[in-house]
Amino acid sequence: MSKQFGRAAAALLALCLTVPGALVARQQGGARPAAAAAAEVLAATSEMLEEVSRMRGLKILSPVKSGLKSRGEIEQVVVRNFDESSTPEELEAAQKTLIAFGLAPRDFRYREFMIKLLAEQVAGFYQPKTKEFFLADWNALDQQKTVMAHELVHALQDQHFDLRRFEKWPRGDGDRETAIHALIEGDATAVMFNYLLKPRGMEITKLPISLSALGEMMPAQGDKPGEEVLAAAPAAIRESLIFPYTYGAGFAQEMVKRRGWEGLTQAYAELPQSTEQIMHFDKYLAREAPAKVALADLAPLLGPGWRRIDADVNGEFGYSLVLGEYLPRKQARAAAAGWAGDQCAVYEQAAEGRVLLAHLSAWDSEDEAHEFFGAYGARTAKRYPNAPERPGAGASERAYRTSDGETYMARRGARVLIIEGLPEGRREELPRLAAALWR
């Protein structure tokens, strides 16, 4: 599910974009003659590369090629990398999953929207595929130093850790992919903050607040001129785009506090395994691995025309988004915080335009499972205010007759099973489907 919420993660790993507008001020500058501008950017790149190399403690293994690109050229690169990172089928599945979870309007077009969003947000990028760094030619160079600091950390990461190894992450492991993306972007964002704090004699380890909390206190995303696409983005997509920078920076800050920059370097060998480990640093240190959860394929039981179009892991962050769309943020995050593992599958019957979700989640304790079960029930009631709740077999079972079909929820010990979108006329099949998923 993390992959579904932010399938842009793969594109972002292939094209290391600058942090979103709320974290880096954007300034407009006049155009400069091409030859003079190119020489200026090259000199500034060399100088900044030396600076961030000292800050990050990573040696420069080779020079970094740099240059300027126009808005049109950057948009072309964004489109090419986005399409190379995901197949049309994957993008279609992402769109249908967002809509099925109630996180995007029914007429939402994922690919078109994400390309517009990424093109709007980019102010510079480092491309691991070509080992090149580019700045936007519509911003003045002296006003893009923070962008340069961030992006040139990516160049150092690539030289030492090979960022391309993360570009083609296995399907079905989206939560861990998001966590690794948060490590990469959080590392670069932490160095960028140190660059900003250096003139004041400060650094991130001396701040009285975590960088993740600081990021959340920033002005609302999309409230500035030139951020109209971001302002129109569904909340789940907007938060997914910001997560690697805010929570990733908090993760990097905590690592540097406890283990120094060497500890952050070691994290590329001991990769985070979940967004839970990014959000709760002590769980990373404890190597608290996600529980492995497997789901039977329901397609044969659902019958002709049904097929599974995707399967992935929601993760703690993903469930916080699912709950947070309809519940207060604090409640949503508290209910998702006991996550231990999950598996989510998406099924489609194209002929009738039906989409069904099935997800089984494991929690740290029965109490945590009970809290999530209650929160998901409250979320369902908020999403479908006119949907009658049918009596279940007990306090650990609920069912709702919604406009999108039957929603069924059950809790057994520290695990919770949810089926959403079963056609109403097939309600009597729920016990058989649930039994297959519990197995």
For 162-173, give the DSSP string: -GGGGTTPPTT-
| CATH code of the domain in which 395 resides | 3.40.1000
Record the tokens describing residue 338, joined without a space: 């006991």
Number of domains in the chain: 2
Q: Are residues 325 and 412 in the same domain?
A: yes
Each as own residue / partner, the long-range contacts of residues 24-29 (CB below 8 Å, 24 or more positions apart, any chain) are: 24/123, 24/146, 24/147, 24/150, 24/192, 25/143, 25/146, 26/123, 26/139, 26/224, 26/226, 27/139, 27/140, 27/143, 27/144, 28/138, 28/139, 28/140, 29/138, 29/139, 29/140, 29/141, 29/143
Q: Are residues 256 and 328 in the same domain?
A: no
Q: Are residues 331 and 213 in the same domain?
A: no
Cα 429 to the chain's mean position, in Å?
35
Q: Give the HSE-up count for residue 85: Cα atoms under 13 Å, Cβ half-sphere.
A: 28
Q: For position 91, what pLDDT does the model report?
A: 92
Q: Are residues 138 and 262 in the same domain?
A: yes
**C-alpha distances in angstroms, 366 versus 31, 286, 340, 413?**
61, 21, 12, 5
Q: Give the HSE-up count for residue 358: Cα atoms under 13 Å, Cβ half-sphere.
A: 25
pLDDT, mean of each 10-residue run, the chain (439 residues): 51 54 47 66 93 98 92 86 86 94 95 88 87 87 90 97 90 93 97 96 95 74 70 92 95 98 98 98 97 96 96 97 97 98 97 95 98 97 89 79 94 97 91 95
Q: For position 77, what pLDDT does the model report?
A: 87
Find out whether 195 and 254 touch, Cβ atoms under 8 Å: no
Q: Are residues 273 and 303 in the same domain?
A: no
Q: How many whole angstroms separate alpha carbon 63 and alpha carbon 300? A: 56
Q: For position 22, what pLDDT does the model report?
A: 42
Per DSSP, the three-state class of 196 is helix
Pairing of strands 65-69, 132-136: parallel
Which residues, other chains included, contact 25 with Cβ-Cβ below 8 Å and sequence gap of 6+? Answer: 143, 146
Q: How many whole angstroms separate alpha carbon 133 and alpha carbon 41? A: 10
Record the tokens describing residue 71, joined without a space: 């808005």
Instruction: For residue 134, count other CB atoms closer than 10 A to its CB.
Output: 22
Q: For position 255, what pLDDT does the model report?
A: 98
Domain boundary among 285, 310, 332: 285
Q: For position 259, what pLDDT does the model report?
A: 97
Per DSSP, the three-state class of 234 is coil
Q: Are residues 212 and 173 in the same domain?
A: yes
Domain boundary among 285, 307, 322: 285
Instruction: For residue 37, count other CB atoms closer than 10 A to its CB.
Output: 16
Return phi, psi of residue 409, to 5°: -130, 140
Q: Give the number of residues written for the chain.
A: 439
Q: How many whole angstroms separate alpha carbon 112 and alpha carbon 296? A: 33
Q: For position 395, what pLDDT does the model report?
A: 73
Q: Are residues 52 and 153 in the same domain?
A: yes
Range of the domain at 269: 2-285
